[in-house]
Amino acid sequence: MANFMNLDPLQLCIALGPLAVYLLLLGVLNLAARPFCTTGARDAAALGLALSGLAVIGPMELFWPEAAAMHIGGYVWLLLLAFYAMCMVLVVLLTRPRLVIYNITSDQLRPILANLVSELDSTARWAGESLALPQLGVQFYLEPFSSMRNLQLVAAGPRQSFPGWRRLEVRLRAALRQTKTSPNPYGVSLIFFGLLMVGMVAFAAVHDSQSIADSFREMLRQ
């Protein structure tokens, strides 16, 4: 914590800015009156963007390529950010298909899925927390995160049909739009910490604006 507070104003803004936006977004989703469904790829990409500021002031500065910076100057930041983006894409491509649903419990989702899969695949069968839809080419299991009232549908096994997952996502999103849930109280804490970070960034930007400008120019001249 002491090292974090020793960051200069520019580093503080870079580290907390994306993370604050991410926490506010999660807070809004968890306080909504209806569940929200997204793909695992979008969820992982959003997390990667939220952590991008920490990557800039952490690994990128720690492993700063001095030789490259001597030849192209501040443009080396573009290469580092492009490398980070490619790493994010690689992680997304290597992960199994999954759907992430915010602000819903497993008990609330199961009857929705039961009605949905009977329309999508008449041969669908449950096995505990797992569900197989042979005609759709989809197999998954429920992975709840009970403390946050969120859960995931995670692909079970390597043989998966991506068109089948896309069809399941579209139909599930349509079904969830008709479902009402109570706001998740944990959303308030996410909003609080997000606003706290926004306040820290705003204070640094107003109170140390000249220092931020000087640090930014120095960063580009590295």
Give residue-wise pLDDT tens across range 62-99: 777 776 667 776 678 888 889 999 999 998 888 889 99
| Segment 31-64, tens digit of pLDDT | 998 999 999 999 999 999 999 988 988 888 777 7
3 state DSSP class of 8: coil
**For position 86, what pLDDT does the model report?**
93
**For position 20, what pLDDT does the model report?**
95
**For position 1, what pLDDT does the model report?**
44
Is the pLDDT confidence value at 157 over 60? yes
**For position 220, what pLDDT does the model report?**
64
**For position 22, what pLDDT does the model report?**
95
Is the pLDDT confidence value at 12 over 70? yes
Which one has a higher pLDDT value, 207 or 27? 27
Domains in the chain and their CATH numbers? 1-95+183-222 (no CATH), 97-181 (3.30.160)
Which one has a higher pLDDT value, 110 or 1? 110
Sequence-distant (6+) residues with CB within 8 A of 188 are 27, 31
- pLDDT above 90 covers a percentage of the chain that reads 33
Q: How confident is the model at residue 27 (pLDDT cuts 50, 70, 90)?
A: very high
**125-127/130-133 β-pairing:** antiparallel
Q: How confident is the model at residue 2 (pLDDT cuts 50, 70, 90)?
A: very low
Mean pLDDT of the chain: 85
Cross-sheet strand order for the sheet of 98-102: 36-39, 98-102, 150-155, 138-145, 130-133, 125-127
Q: Is the pTM of this model over 0.75?
A: yes
3 state DSSP class of 45: helix
Question: For the chain, percent helix, then strand, then coil, each to nearest 5?
Answer: 65, 15, 20
3 state DSSP class of 171: helix
Residue 74 CB-density burial (10 A; 0-12 exposed, 13-18 middle, 19+ buried): middle
Residue 149 CB: number of other CB atoms within 10 A? 23
3 state DSSP class of 86: helix
**For position 73, what pLDDT does the model report?**
67
Q: How confident is the model at residue 17 (pLDDT cuts 50, 70, 90)?
A: very high
